[in-house]
Structure 1
C-alpha cells in the first residue's frame, strides 16, 4: 500500500510528533489535537492514526486507520465500516499491564488488605491467615493477546486458569477454554472473573443476571469494556454476595457520571481507565512497525477483522 500523507490525531500529539520526526521518514505528517482536526485534514490524508473516529466527519478518502488503543469498538461498534479501509490496532505491553493490574487486586483480596486496615483503625490485633494463589480458580473472558498474557502470568503463579471465547479453541496457559454456552457449569467454583472481551454486538451487556447469579462470592474485574456489563445486575449481585467485590476500570460512559450509584458501593473499586495505557513510546513503536510492514507488503499481525469487531 502506498501511504504518502499521514494524519496523527491524539491528545498526546506533541509527544508523538517529537518521536516520529526523529525517524526521518519519507512520509508527510500532520499532527493535530482532536479539537483541531478538520475535514480538510482528512481529505489530505492517506492514513489516520488516532484513538477515536468522530461521526461528523467523512473518512472515505482514508486508506488506512491505525488505532492507538488495543480496542477498536470506537471505530466499529454500531457503526458502518468501509471494508476497503484497512484497520489496525496497537499491540504493546497491554497484556502485561492488565495482568499486573488484575494480580494486584487478587492479592489484595487474598492477603486481606482491607480487613487488616479496618482493624488497624480500631487498634485491634486479630490474626487471619492469608489465602494462597495456587488454591484459586480464575476465569478469563476473552482469549486474545491480553487474555493469553494474563493467563500466562496467573497460571505461572499457580492459579487454575480457565478461558471463555466464542470458539472454545484451546490456548496455551489455560487449563481449558470454554465456549460462551458451556462456561456456566464452571462459574460456581470460580474465585475470580476477569473480563478482557472487546465490545461487539455479541458482548454488549454480556455480564448480566444469568452469569452473576451463578457466582458464589467471586471477585469480578472488568478491564474489557464498560458496556459489556449491565451495571444494575452487577450492583444486585454485589448486594446478594454473588459477587464479593468488583474492580471496574472501564465504563459505558467515561468519565463516570457523579450520580452513578456505582460510586457509592463499598465493595466496588474504581480506576479511571488506566489498566492498559498507551504510552507515546509504545504507541509510536507499534505504529512504525505497522507502517513498515504495510509498505513492504509483509503480514500485519495487528490487522482487525472488522466483521468480528476485533
Structure 2
C-alpha cells in the first residue's frame, strides 16, 4: 500500500506538526495538520491516510486507505458501525501503555495497603495508632483483558508477588497470569476472593455494561479499578455496590462521557477516586514513533502488530 496524502488532526496536532516537520521523516509525502474543529470535507476527500484519536464530527471515508488511532482505544471509530469499508485499514497506537497502567494501578494498590488515607486522618487528629500494612504478595488480583496492556500490567504486579488471574474473551493462556478464564468460565469464588479487580477491556458489544448489578453482586469487598473504557461499567450499579459494602472502593480513570459531567454523583461519593483519563497518556514523541513505524510496515506489506480487527472491535 502506498500512502501519499496524510491528514493529522486532534489535540496533539500542533505537537505532531513540530515533530514531523523534517521532510526526510515523511519522504516527501503531502501532509496536512488541521485542528479538530477545522477539518473540512475537502480535507477528508484529499487524504488517503487519517491520523487522530477519534473521527471528526463530519468524518467520512472519502479516498481513505488507512486510519491510524493515536490512542490504544478505537471504540469511537467502531461507533461508525457498518459504515466501515473492508478495504480501509485501521491501526492503533501501541506504546508503553501497559507499563504506565501498571504503575498507575500499583500506586493505588499501595495507597490502599499502606493505609495512606487512614494515617492522614489520624495525623489531622493528632492520633498515634498503629495499623499494620498489608503486603502485595498477599493480594489476589483479577485483570479483565489479557491483551498487550493486560499482560504488561500482570507482569508488573507479578514481579511483586501478586497472584494475578486474567479474564478474556477466549480464555487462552497468557504470560504472567496464574490462569486465564473466559468471560463465561469465571466463577463466583474467583470474584469473591479478589482483593482488586482491574478492567483493561476494550469497548465492544460483549463488554458494554459488563460490570453491572449482577457482576458487582458477586464481589466481596474488592477494590475496582477501571482503566479500560467507561461504558463497560454501569455506574449506578457500582455506586449501589459501594453503598452496600460489596465494593470497598473504586478508582475510575475512564468514563463514557469525558469530561465527566459536573453533576455526576461519582464526584462526591467517598468511595470513589476519579482521575481525568491519565493512566496511560500518549505523548507526542510516542505517537510519532508508533506512527512512523506503522507507516513503514503498512507500505512494506509486512504483518502489523497493531492492526485492529474491525469485526471484533480491538
Quickly name the TM-score band, shorter chain normalised. Answer: over 0.9
Whether contact under 8 Å (2:36, 2:56) holds in the other structure is: no
Q: Hey, what's the Cα distance between the residues in 2 that align with 1:17 and 1:199?
A: 30
Paired with 1:137 and 1:88, the residues of 2 have a C-alpha distance of: 34
| Partner Cα separation in structure 1 for residue 158 and residue 79 of structure 2 | 32
- CA apart distance, 1:23: 5.4
Match of 2:282? 278
**How far, CA to CA, are the matches of 2:79 and 2:274 in structure 1?**
24
SS in 2 for 1:102: helix
Unaligned residue ranges in structure 1 (runs of 5+): none
Aligned match of 2:124 = 121
What pairs up with 1:174-253 in 2 under 5 angstroms?
Answer: 174-185=177-188, 186-253=190-257
How far off its partner does 1:55 sit?
Answer: 4.5
More deviation, 76-85/86-95: 76-85
Partner of 1:304: helix, strand, or coil? coil
Contact kept, 8 Å, 1:51 with 1:69, in 2: the verdict is: yes
User: 1:124-172: CA deviations, max 9, x gaps?
Assistant: 0001100000000000000001000000000111000000001000001
RMSD: 1.0
Total equivalences in the alignment: 310
Matches within 5 A, 1:76-87: 76-77=78-79, 79-80=81-82, 81-87=84-90
Kept after mapping to 1: 8 A contact 2:39/2:56:
no
Q: TM-score, normalised by structure 1?
A: 0.98
TM-score (ref. length: structure 2) = 0.97
Deviation at 1:295, TM superposition (A): 1.2
User: Do the aligned partners of residues 260 and 205 (structure 1) sit closer, same or farther apart at CA in structure 2, a change above 3 Å counting?
Assistant: same
Of 47, 50, 70 in structure 1, the residue corresponding to residue 49 of structure 2 is: 47
Give the Cα–Cα distance (whole angstroms) in 1 for the partners of residues 241 and 280 of structure 2.
26
Give the C-alpha shift of residue 57 in structure 1. Answer: 2.8
Consecutive unaligned residues of structure 2, counting only runs of 5 or more, are: none
Aligned-pair distance for 1:78? 6.0
Matches of 2:138 and 2:80, distance apart in 1: 41
Aligned-residue offset at 1:214: 1.1
Per-residue CA deviations over 1:180-224 (Å, capped at 9, x if unaligned) read 112133101000000000000110000011111111110000000
Matching of residues 129-144 of structure 1 within 5 Å: 129-144=132-147
2:173 corresponds to which residue? Answer: 170
SS in 2 for 1:257: coil
- Structure 1 distance, partners of 2:80, 2:233, is 17
Is 1:92 aligned to residue 112 of structure 2? no
Query: How far 1:60 sits from its partner (Å)?
Result: 3.3
Q: In the TM superposition, what are the counterparts of 1:103-122 in structure 2 within 5 Å?
A: 103-122=106-125
